Amino acid sequence: MNRFEPNLRIPGPTSLPDAVREAGARQMVNHRGPEFAVLQNSIIERLKSFYLTANDVLIVTAAGTGGLESAIVSFLSPGDKVLGITIGAFGDRFAKIATVYGAEVTKLSFEWGQAADPAKVREVLKAGGPWKAVLMTHNETSTAVTNPIADLAAAVKEVAPDALLIVDAISGLGAVPFKTDEWGLDVVVSGSQKAWMVGPGLSFVSVSPRAWEAAATAKMPKFYFDLAAHKTSAESGQTPWTPAVGVMFQLDVALNLMAEEGLDAIWKRHEAVGAAVRAGLTTLGFKLLADPAFASNTVTGAWIPEDVEWKTFNGKLRKLGLVVAGGQGALKGKIFRIGHMGHVTIPAVLNAIAVLEQTMLELGKPVTPGAAVAAAQVAALKALGLVK
Amino acid sequence: MNRFEPNLRIPGPTSLPDAVREAGARQMVNHRGPEFAVLQNSIIERLKSFYLTANDVLIVTAAGTGGLESAIVSFLSPGDKVLGITIGAFGDRFAKIATVYGAEVTKLSFEWGQAADPAKVREVLKAGGPWKAVLMTHNETSTAVTNPIADLAAAVKEVAPDALLIVDAISGLGAVPFKTDEWGLDVVVSGSQKAWMVGPGLSFVSVSPRAWEAAATAKMPKFYFDLAAHKTSAESGQTPWTPAVGVMFQLDVALNLMAEEGLDAIWKRHEAVGAAVRAGLTTLGFKLLADPAFASNTVTGAWIPEDVEWKTFNGKLRKLGLVVAGGQGALKGKIFRIGHMGHVTIPAVLNAIAVLEQTMLELGKPVTPGAAVAAAQVAALKALGLVK
């Protein structure tokens, strides 16, 4: 994070710890041999400990979107009634995949920046059905909002207890509280390049016994993304198709680092960096995109000042070594997003706030030098309980 | 390849050159940023030079099987008549994918160990149709046979000129002669972990203008593997879903190594190592699986002595540092396969022959010490034109 090493603050791929990076340089092994079986079995057991689940967890060689596709085609049939709860671009994508494969999808959309409302979900479920599945997004990366999955899942279980709960947890799981079994979630998808601090190329999917029952009669066409084939292979320590071995090497190391820190400490750290970023941005005069009650602790979105072009704004940040993400869909060119998941510390986000402060000064905006960095630090220390 | 570094001689993942390995340890970049666009554009141009094509080449984050799926679902519709020419497990898999997605597949199977016969293809095409596509495998990894793609393509063009030629070239392209445009091939799939000397996780697909026309009306359901979406993204230096960035870093380096060596030299080297392995194995008394006229120069399959268990045989090889692959499908436990593609030299395959010679001696087989290694070396030097 000096002049030559930019501060990569996008919501994935996230920056890799050195030990994880270096594992990417390992020589290949036979993916059908005993070393690989030991590696995969050990990775799966550790993934379960972060998913907080006793369900199967399978590894798919694909981006997170491929994991989402596997979560649709492995369990559903054309014509199935599916509720797609969406609060942004990734919720829309999830619903779209189900539609493409022939599900009868009812889309329940909430305003971008807002979380999904369990009462509204209850209402829509009551009005239709029978529901085969409900799709929901844990942490909506496009709007920087974290949905109250526990409440949403409870609402579904109350009104449509037979519906499978299929959750996109790609950009939150492993960073912020997520309890697969306690919340009764059937299928949960995550991706290597997010909280897991690993390069992109792998997606993880947990599958409940109830979902496996559904898989037995699921009729959507599938081959590469057939999770039942992945389960069969995993039972002998293999994958049905050649896995991204190098990314698995990295994951092996990253899971050790995560286990050393511990899940509670990881969650607390993300709470602190999330609070820091929001406090810093607010102090700089930025308007945040997310409803404060549901602001994500893995990514923050804010509006670019109205008189400034995205390209100008982003160019200045890049020159100072800060790499952020732009807006998606209707928000393209209007917002920027700061990722703070996985390999992230309080100093790393203070660095980002410092660059933004300098940029706002360069743009002639009225900011009090040092105030945003100080506010961010105080917010982080408060979240850690070190300051009242 | 000393005691602690096994000689990884499976037909993929192949061993990585040091410079390629090390590129896997690079820090992540923004996959929506300018550095990534430069990287992807440069990789695509160089892939085209090895594909010998002016067609589009797209990069899909998946194992080769995912590339095969993209080559089916992006261009075909349920009900399309498709001829699936198969000479082994991977040809069967290709036909299966088309079947799963609703194509009306006629399977033309040849005996394992044999190449496909263009006359037979002509005959079957004449008897049916109209054909939307013909699927064929360039180098059948399960049987170590290389199909005469030029002749097969010519046969199809003669009888069914409108049929799309869709080729699985995963384990041959980049190692042995393959001429996408000269042979008039519409869709050609390869995979990073084969001749390209890179970790698994990426598949490459070339697409002709004729295939893009078919894509416009193709009705098979698709999302992750939609190549049209990949083309749109590639035009702005991106991918539709997060790419396996670390594998792209490795590919960047590997393509430079390949360009330095030159395509003709690469083909010649594979001819030499293929000849060496076949001569060495034959001298040791092994019966080869493949018809000698179509023996692959990237992989060789041979029968395990009938009185020896695969586990015993493989255990002895592993103890001496040699990692080979077993048989697939009906050949499981009966054959072994030696990969010799990508990062492979004559000494590397002599090493494998030496281990096999010692193993055969340990098993009490009648072998002349040194003879197999010598025969292998002579065959390689003959292929290089250094010995008559």
Q: Which two tokens stand for residue B60?
A: 């899909």
| Contact check, Cβ <8 Å, A31/B200 | yes
Does the pLDDT at position B375 exceed 50? Answer: yes
- Cut 0.90: pTM above it: yes
Interface mutation vs chain B, best among A28, A94, A189, most B CBs within 10 Å: A28
Indicate the SS3 state at residue B337. Answer: strand
Does the pLDDT at position B360 exceed 60? Answer: yes
What confidence tens digit (pLDDT) does each residue in A61-82 have? Answer: 999 999 999 999 999 999 999 9
- Distances, alpha carbon B353 to alpha carbons B320, B384, B385, in Å: 11, 19, 21
Q: Which residue of B has its CA nearest to A101?
A: B221
User: Is B285 touching A (CB cutoff 8 A)?
Assistant: no
| Contact check, Cβ <8 Å, B223/A29 | no
Q: Which residue of A has its CA nearest to B247?
A: A246
For this complex, say whether ipTM is above 0.85: yes
The class of domain B18-259 in CATH terms is: alpha beta
pLDDT in the model for residue A208: 98
pLDDT in the model for residue B1: 46
The class of domain B7-14+262-383 in CATH terms is: alpha beta
- Distances, alpha carbon A145 to alpha carbons A82, A290, A350, B14, in Å: 23, 6, 21, 43
What number is the average pLDDT over the span B172-183?
Answer: 98
What number is the average pLDDT over the span A156-171?
Answer: 98
> Residue A336: which pLDDT band, with cuts at 50, 70 and 90?
very high
pLDDT in the model for residue A5: 85
Which residues between 30 and 59 in chain A have a beta carbon less than 8 angstroms from any beta carbon of chain B?
Answer: 30-33
What confidence tens digit (pLDDT) does each residue in B377-388 have? Answer: 999 999 999 998
Question: Where are the CATH 3.40.640.10 domain residues in chain A?
Answer: 19-259
pLDDT in the model for residue A8: 96
| Contact check, Cβ <8 Å, B223/A97 | yes
Does the pLDDT at position A89 exceed 80? Answer: yes
DSSP code at position B246: H
What confidence tens digit (pLDDT) does each residue in A275-304 have? Answer: 999 999 999 999 999 999 999 999 999 999
Which residues between 73 and 102 in chain A have a beta carbon less than 8 angstroms from any beta carbon of chain B?
Answer: 96-97, 100-102
What number is the average pLDDT over the span B326-344?
Answer: 96
- Distances, alpha carbon B64 to alpha carbons A35, B189, B265, in Å: 22, 7, 25
CA dihedral sign, ordered A356, A358, A359, A365: positive
Which residues between 16 and 35 in chain A have a beta carbon less than 8 angstroms from any beta carbon of chain B?
Answer: 16, 21-33
Phi, psi of B81 (to 5 degrees): -85, 125
Q: Name the residue among A28, A199, A246 with its Cβ closest to that of B15.
A: A28
Q: CA A137 to CA A121: how far, in whole Å?
A: 13
What number is the average pLDDT over the span B283-310?
Answer: 97
Q: Which two tokens stand for residue A81?
A: 């009634």
- Chain centroid to CA B147: 12
A19-259 carries CATH number 3.30.460.10: no
A69 to chain B: which residues are within 8 Å by CB? 223-224
- The DSSP bridge partners found for residue B52 are none
Which helix (H) or strand (E) segment is B325 a member of? strand B325-326
Non-local CB neighbours of B383 within 8 Å, separated by 6+ positions: B268, B271, B272, B274, B275, B276
Amino acid at A75: F
DSSP code at position B17: P
Query: To the nearest whole number, what is the mean pLDDT of chain B?
Result: 97
B4 to chain A: which residues are within 8 Å by CB? none
Instruction: Supply the DSSP string of B195-218, one letter for each residue.
Output: TT---SSEEEEEE-HHHHHHHTT-
What number is the average pLDDT over the span A238-250?
Answer: 98
Does the pLDDT at position B3 exceed 70? Answer: no
Does the pLDDT at position A316 exceed 80? Answer: yes
| Contact check, Cβ <8 Å, B246/A69 | no
pLDDT in the model for residue A66: 98
CB pairs under 8 A between A and B: 186
pLDDT in the model for residue A1: 45
A21 to chain B: which residues are within 8 Å by CB? 25-27
Does the pLDDT at position B186 exceed 50? Answer: yes
Three-state SS string over B360-372 comes to HHHCCCCCCCCHH
Q: Which residue of B has its CA nearest to A102?
A: B221
> Residue A349: which pLDDT band, with cuts at 50, 70 and 90?
very high
What confidence tens digit (pLDDT) does each residue in B208-239 have? Answer: 999 999 999 999 999 999 999 999 999 999 99
What number is the average pLDDT over the span B348-369?
Answer: 97
Phi, psi of A88 (to 5 degrees): 175, -165
Question: Where are the CATH 3.90.1150.10 domain residues in chain A?
Answer: 7-14+262-383
Q: CA A99 to CA A78: how far, in whole Å?
A: 9
Q: Name the residue among A100, A193, A243 with its Cβ closest to that of B242.
A: A193
CB A383 within 8 A of CB A279: no
